[in-house]
Copies of this chain bind each other. A is one copy, B any other.
Amino acid sequence: MVKQAMPKAVVLLSGGLDSVTVLALAREQGFECYALSLDYGQRHNAELHAARRLARAANVQAHKVVRLGLGDFGGSALTDTAIAVPDHAVPGIPVTYVPARNTVFLSLALGWAEVLGAWDLFIGVNAVDYSGYPDCRPEFIAAFEQLAQLATKGGVEGGQFRIHAPLIKLSKAEIIREGVRLGIDYAQTVSCYSADAEGLACGHCDACRLRAEGFRVAGVADPTCYI
């Protein structure tokens, strides 16, 4: 009996709670996973350390951390030290929005996928507890999938790219329950926008609040280490 090769998938891995859950789901679905992290000048560099730990723990086929000078553009509290990370929710699209971030991330994932011969891209966007980011909505994901067909050698030659966003309709609590089922150690993840060098969370920013509330609603003990 010939062993069938597992299909390859590129999984965007930030080091946060959502993306590591996506990685576990991709593995469960039988994909050979290639994790991609972006070092885009984010303040919370502890995320990248977490991404490396999580990629190792998930035994991915390869993990790449690509440097990208997004911070050069400014305009977001996540990359521009002149803009403060707010410690309370504000209406509308928040200052932590990084312009066109998921478009850039998916484009890079698409480039690597083409080189690998992978047709499946995974991203941990979430339209429920999404903090108001436009590039976390289902219509954005659908538009990117269409673009991928037209943008690539593989697409032109008839292949079909699929952008998987398995968390898109889940609440944070539902994501956490999925992760617990899959055996994820969420203590290893960093979500905080203002985490310190060791990855300890501030407990006050948007990301911290959403995460803490998720654990509370899920009825799961919050393993986050706070400053």
Contact = CB atoms under 8 A, between A and B. Distances in A.
A144 B143 CA distance: 9
Contact of A152 (B69, B100, B156): B100
Interface in A69-124: 69-70, 72-75, 93, 97-104, 107-108, 110-115
Contact of A147 (B70, B103, B112, B156): B103
6 contacts: A98-B111, A99-B114, A100-B111, A103-B111, A143-B147, A146-B147
A139 interface: yes
Given A64-B72, A98-B111, 12 more contacts: A64-B73, A67-B69, A70-B111, A74-B115, A99-B115, A100-B108, A100-B114, A100-B152, A104-B111, A135-B152, A143-B146, A144-B147
Interface string A188-203: 0000000000000000
Contacts of A103: 107, 110-111, 147-148, 151
A150 interface: yes
A43 interface: no
Contacts of A75: 114-115
A143 B107 CA distance: 13
Interface of A: 64, 66-70, 72-75, 93, 97-104, 107-108, 110-115, 134-135, 137, 139-140, 143-144, 146-148, 150-153, 155-156
A113 B104 CA distance: 13
Q: How many copies does the complex hold?
A: 2
A146 B113 CA distance: 23
A31 B69 CA distance: 25
Nearest to A140: B150
Nearest to A115: B75
Nearest to A108: B104
